[in-house]
A and B are shown apart, each in its own frame.
Chain A
Amino acid sequence: MSSIVCKDLCKTFQQGDEIITGLDRVSIEIDAGDFVCLSGPSGSGKTTLLNAMGGLDTPDSGQIRVGDIKVDELGKGPLADMRLHKIGFVFQAYNLIPVLTARENVEFVMQVRGEPAHERSRRSHEILKEVGLQGMEDRRPAQLSGGQQQRVAVARAIVSEPTLVLADEPTANLDSVTAGHLMDLFVELNQHHGITFVIATHDTRVMAYAKRLIRMRDGKIISDEKQQQPLTVD
């Protein structure tokens, strides 16, 4: 069954007097449990597509469905609910809340969902252990390295067991070793938890992990191919 269906998505941006095409009649279907990389140069539309799938940005036209939810028909509140319950986000700049500790950042989404404190504590402890941050739960973002911060962001994205994780350039600020560890973690979550991953990147090391690689340019999909032997975790 398809996890995401996008049909004829169009999106333009005004930049001064110039109209820039973000998405140009993009149609795509992504299966549940898939591991997809969107690649392409800057301005190719991969982030715009990712944001549209996550309900963060509204396309000018076209339809988007995530599971059985018609994203393009939702208002601000229901869109926020969808993101809260179905989607985990990982951003290039980590985007942790600086006044909260690693554990509190991870618990934040569960807190917004209204989960009880003991359950939040148990899950955050488990998930931080899973991403290799045991013993660092009470550190604030400023006391963590870039790789550690990104792990916290990943932990936050998956703690509420979303069906879909959208990651925008997750390795851009990481060294190669840390980036490798992060991708191993993504693959493991994909394999063991069945979470669908859609990752926007132009990092070839990341692309090597993808089961399906979609290339974009000028807001269009120029190639869409399944990789025969993606990198996996041993």
Chain B
Amino acid sequence: MLAWRNLWRNHRRTLIMLAAITVGVWAMIFMTALMRGMVDDMLLNGIRSLPGEVQIHHPEYRDDPSINNSMPAPGGALIEALQIPEVTAWTSRVRVPAVVSSERDSRGAILLGVEPDGEQRVSFDVDSIIEGRFVEDVDDRGLVIGARMAERLETKLGKRVVVMSQDPDNDIADRGFRVVGIYKAKLASLEETYIYAGRETVQKMLKLDDQVSEIAITGDDYRHVDQWYPRIRQAAGEGVDTLPWYEVDTYLGSMLAMMDGFVLVWIIIVFLALSFGLVNTLVMAVFERVREIGLMQALGMRPSTILYQILMESLLLLLIGLVLGNATAFATVIPLQDGIDISVVAEGMEMMGTSSVLYPALKLNDMIMANVIVIVLGLLTSILPAWRAASYDPIEALNKT
């Protein structure tokens, strides 16, 4: 009660400090939500642009992604394991380096032999087709290419192109395809790289029988992949590599780790700015009441209880600021859940792998971290003025004017 009353002795100072804590906490949570949203978008764009949350390969495939490092199509125990609720979709692909040639030009590409239904559930957004259609079946003989690739090859829908690669005997394997679809990807680099055909068509072209290059699996949340991928790994067996997304694409994995560190640094920087105001408020509050603190000691209050009193004042100030800061953060993030249009800087953002609409991601863990840091560091910085108050000599304090 005493701590609460003391807090409101100087309304203006307390309100200014509360405003500073509120804005600081809001900035911590709001900016973190924006950064999280951006990184989530980058990661999801990365994960959903083929890799999936988990991939299964031939053990040598990552070092040498050639036709020789293929593996049998999934079956038996693995297909059963893929039925677990955490797995939302999976598909198997043939994926080989290739050269695609039109009448005008030739380009390097990655040829993907896909099973269209599974591919659409795992990664390919059929709405990204801007002309024609996507692959319709595993034995579809049409080819789907990116808009940039079409531009580079100076080809278009309905035209024929030739795709060349290598078969398992290291002989040239080639085949003519008609362009049946042109897609536009969120990331321009994908449009220039990936070309899609039916899986069986590609297997026949490469003399692969039923072999595939990879199995891609998606889950409900990329952050929870560690909870379920070991079961898939066990079912896939020792003869193949079963890897989570952050090992498949170490850049994405390290980006997430870097983001976690960055959020922590950001929160601490904002807190440091806040802490000066907090310490100043408490120091002033202590200086103004030196006599009173002396009196409390004279009346029998132990120094430790005085320390506790000052820390209580600080805690109350921090708690009110946190409640207001959290409420303000909620009030500003929730209306932006439908996304913030950042198309003005879309080209730059695209280079970073993010979309032109930014979706703030308010994560409970980030909010808890911001709140815990403010409380813990706030109390730590309050120890100095509180210690000072507790150390006063009662007579000297009582004689202060």
Question: Using a Cβ–Cβ cut-off of 8 Å, how many residues does chain A contribute to the interface with B?
Answer: 26
Q: In the complex, A11→B2 CA distance in Å?
A: 35
Q: Is A56 an interface residue (CB 8 A)?
A: yes
Q: In the complex, A112→B299 CA distance in Å?
A: 9
With A95-B291, A99-B5, A100-B5 already in contact, the answer to whether A56 and B298 are too (CB < 8 A) is yes
Contact A80 B300 (CB under 8 A): yes
With A56-B394, A91-B398 already in contact, the answer to whether A97 and B292 are too (CB < 8 A) is yes
Nearest neighbor of A112 in chain B, beta-carbon distance: B301
With A83-B300, A112-B300 already in contact, the answer to whether A57 and B2 are too (CB < 8 A) is no
Q: Is B297 an interface residue (CB 8 A)?
A: yes
Contact B298 A83 (CB under 8 A): yes
Contact partners of A100 in chain B: CB under 8 A: 2, 5
Contact A97 B300 (CB under 8 A): no
Q: In the complex, A126→B2 CA distance in Å?
A: 23
Q: Is B295 an interface residue (CB 8 A)?
A: yes
* Interface residue range, chain B: 20 to 34
Q: Is B9 an interface residue (CB 8 A)?
A: yes
Interface residue from A57, A84, A91, A95 paired with B300 (Cβ < 8 Å): A84
Q: Is A147 an interface residue (CB 8 A)?
A: no
Contact B2 A109 (CB under 8 A): no
Q: In the complex, A113→B394 CA distance in Å?
A: 19
Q: Is B303 an interface residue (CB 8 A)?
A: yes
Contact partners of B234 in chain A: CB under 8 A: none
Contact A99 B6 (CB under 8 A): yes
Q: In the complex, A84→B6 CA distance in Å?
A: 22
Contact A80 B301 (CB under 8 A): yes
Annotate B298-322 by CB proximity to A: 1 below 8 A, 0 otherwise: 1111111100000000000000000
Contact partners of B398 in chain A: CB under 8 A: 56, 91, 95
Contact partners of B5 in chain A: CB under 8 A: 99-100
Contact A54 B298 (CB under 8 A): yes
Q: Is A123 an interface residue (CB 8 A)?
A: no
Interface residue from B1, B6, B292, B299 paired with A83 (Cβ < 8 Å): B299
Q: Is B395 an interface residue (CB 8 A)?
A: yes
Identify the 5 closest CB pairs spanning chains A and B, nearest first.
A84-B300, A99-B5, A83-B300, A80-B302, A95-B295
Q: List 12 A-B contacts (CB under 8 A).
A: A51-B395, A56-B395, A56-B398, A76-B303, A80-B303, A91-B295, A95-B295, A100-B5, A109-B299, A109-B300, A112-B299, A113-B300
